[in-house]
């Protein structure tokens, strides 16, 4: 019986009325859902993303368990030590970080389903999505560049310290939101340093002539997005070739004590990253897989395990130096430091004494950024293989980073007319936000 008209049964409802009622209910439900699922909003202004390429072993770093023997008995390769978070231990080769872990949030339950493909897993951790045959998704650095832009004039929004790679790229956002990269710490990005024998006046005249040619060429190819991207990139390069951005890379301006606290080459890259975010760069990725101190980097199959402690110790100095230095200059609460890798390692040892790949459970770390630090997210079993509490997906991990930077992870971007949410249904870790 119909409440408005007692003589009208449900069978007498018209198709239009039925659809109207259904749409109205769906809209109401959607609005209610969005109201209850609002994303938290952090106060970080920049992000330094430390990349442990190759697959860092969680059981030998951030999630130690029982001691193994390097052969038949599965377990840690090293002893563990207590940290500044009561009841939480780290690898013995992370003593400096252990003393500073209260400034960090440790995620022990990151997971995905890619096992043996480094490139695919690296792409997933950078874009938050699997490789697609139809869409090239932007990296997290490019999304931050798109949403937050550079904090100051004369600097890029996004810098990669390490070799360029498509997984770090802007995807469908276009080259305007790509990265500037540098390989070493002795000079700025390749191609942005003007020749020393060309005066400033001469460079200005050259740029004026080039700009006229660029503008004419773009006007005659107004419908070609590739030309527009190229012109935008060349203008950006010209803007960044001045002395202001070049000063960021003059590490000799830092005191010997500060430089020494960071340690070796990876640490000096982290120091450059601190100077970059101070200058107004929003997102800096620093790679820690280039020196291969142990012969394999973090991909510790076979003999790479024997000297893995050298990598761990270098990470300890660099990360601790970065945390201390950001505190010293008053930027830790405004700078989110992320430590990530493409997957972890199993507790068992392979025939060569190393470890294989594991994506069912691995670790990441967040520091500073105004988050509620001093806590551990997720619990794994006695061999750090299976998650037993609070799994964190890669989209959740990305959503947490975006929310810390004041970016809505559900916001839709435009991929040639197709709406694509910033994350693939990712939900930020609520306990990290006050």
Three-class SS state of 143: helix
Three-class SS state of 202: helix
Q: Enter the pTM of the model.
A: 0.85
- 30 belongs to a structural domain: no
How does pLDDT run across 309-329, given as a tens digit for each residue? 999 999 999 999 999 999 999
**pLDDT reported for residue 272:** 96
Q: Is 219 exposed, middle or buried (0-12, 13-18, 19+ CB in 10 A)?
A: exposed
Place of tokens 């003393």: 99
How does pLDDT run across 46-92, given as a tens digit for each residue? 999 999 999 999 999 999 999 999 899 999 999 999 999 999 999 99
- 71 belongs to a structural domain: yes
Please, are residues 171 and 135 in contact by the beta-carbon 8 Å criterion? yes
Gap between the Cα atoms of 341 and 8, Å rounded: 63
- 220 belongs to a structural domain: no
Strands 392-393 and 418-421: unpaired
Output the six-digit token pair for 224.
């070609």
Angle made by CA atoms 305, 311, 312, in degrees to the nearest 5? 95
**pLDDT reported for residue 223:** 76
Q: Kindly state the percentage of the chain with pLDDT values over 70.
A: 83
- 88 belongs to a structural domain: yes
Gap between the Cα atoms of 373 and 197, Å rounded: 51
Please, are residues 51 and 285 in contact by the beta-carbon 8 Å criterion? yes
Gap between the Cα atoms of 220 and 92, Å rounded: 63
Mean pLDDT, the chain, rounded, equals 87
How does pLDDT run across 181-219, given as a tens digit for each residue? 988 777 666 555 665 666 667 766 766 776 677 777 778
Phi, psi at residue 186, to the nearest 5°? -85, -15
Strands 335-340 and 362-368: antiparallel
- 14 belongs to a structural domain: no
- 212 belongs to a structural domain: no
**pLDDT reported for residue 330:** 97
DSSP one-letter string for 59-97: GGTTS--SB--SSSS-SBSS-EEE-SSTT-EEETT-HHH
Instruction: Provide the terminal-to-terminal Cα distance of the chain, rounded to the nearest Å.
Output: 50
CATH of the domain at 337: 3.40.720.10
Three-class SS state of 414: strand
Lowest mean pLDDT across 11-15, 83-87, 288-292, 374-378: 11-15
pLDDT tier at 255, thresholds 50, 70, 90: very high
Residue 370 φ/ψ region, left for φ over 0, alpha for ψ in the -120 to 50 degree band, beta for the rest: left
| pLDDT above 70 for 26 | no
- 233 belongs to a structural domain: no
Number of domains in the chain: 1
Residue ranges making up the domain that contains 157: 45-189+241-432
| pLDDT above 50 for 155 | yes
Lowest mean pLDDT across 127-136, 172-181, 221-230: 221-230
- 121 belongs to a structural domain: yes
Residue 373: in which H helix or E strand, if any? none
Separation in Å, CA 127 to CA 30, 142, 155, 171? 27, 9, 23, 9
DSSP one-letter string for 266-281: HHHHHHHHHHHHHHT-
Please, are residues 405 and 42 in contact by the beta-carbon 8 Å criterion? yes
């Amino acid at each position: 019986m119909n409440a408005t008209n007692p003589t009208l049964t449900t069978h007498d409802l018209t198709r239009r009325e039925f659809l109207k009622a259904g749409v109205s209910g769906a809209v109401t439900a959607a609005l209610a859902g969005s109201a209850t699922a609002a994303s938290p909003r952090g106060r970080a202004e920049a992000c330094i993303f430390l990349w442990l390429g190759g697959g860092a072993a969680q059981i030998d770093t951030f999630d130690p368990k029982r001691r193994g023997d390097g052969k038949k008995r599965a377990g840690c390769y090293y002893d563990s030590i207590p940290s500044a978070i009561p009841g939480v231990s780290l690898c013995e080769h992370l003593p400096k970080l252990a003393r500073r872990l209260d400034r960090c949030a440790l995620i022990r339950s990151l997971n995905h389903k890619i096992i043996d493909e480094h490139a695919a897993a690296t792409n997933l951790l950078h874009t938050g999505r699997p490789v697609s045959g139809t869409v090239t998704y932007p990296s997290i650095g490019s999304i931050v560049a798109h949403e937050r832009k550079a904090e100051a004039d004369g600097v890029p929004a996004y810098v990669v310290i390490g070799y360029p790679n498509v997984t770090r790229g802007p995807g469908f956002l276009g080259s305007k939101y790509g990265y500037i990269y540098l390989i070493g710490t002795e000079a700025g990005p390749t191609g942005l340093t003007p020749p020393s024998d060309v005066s400033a006046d001469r460079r200005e005249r050259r740029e004026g002539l080039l700009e006229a040619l660029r503008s004419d060429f773009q006007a005659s190819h107004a419908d070609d997005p590739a030309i527009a991207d190229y012109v935008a990139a060349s203008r950006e390069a010209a803007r960044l070739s001045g002395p202001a951005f070049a000063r960021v890379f003059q590490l000799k301006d830092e005191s010997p004590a500060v430089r020494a606290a960071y340690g070796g080459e990876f640490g000096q890259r982290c120091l450059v990253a601190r100077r970059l975010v101070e200058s107004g760069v929003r997102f800096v990725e620093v790679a820690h897989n280039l020196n291969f101190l142990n012969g394999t980097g973090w991909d510790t199959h076979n003999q790479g395990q024997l000297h893995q402690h050298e990598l761990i110790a270098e990470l300890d100095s660099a990360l601790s130096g970065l945390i201390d230095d950001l505190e010293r200059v008053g930027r830790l609460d405004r700078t989110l430091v992320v430590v990530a890798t493409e997957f972890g390692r199993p507790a068992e040892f392979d025939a060569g004494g190393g470890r294989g790949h594991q994506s069912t459970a691995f670790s990441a770390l967040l520091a500073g950024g105004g988050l509620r630090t001093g806590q551990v997210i997720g619990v794994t079993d006695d061999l750090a293989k299976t998650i037993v509490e609070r799994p964190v997906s890669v989209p959740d991990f990305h959503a947490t980073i975006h929310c810390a930077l004041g970016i809505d992870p559900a916001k839709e971007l435009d991929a040639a007319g197709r709406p694509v949410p910033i994350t693939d249904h990712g939900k930020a870790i609520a306990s990290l936000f006050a």
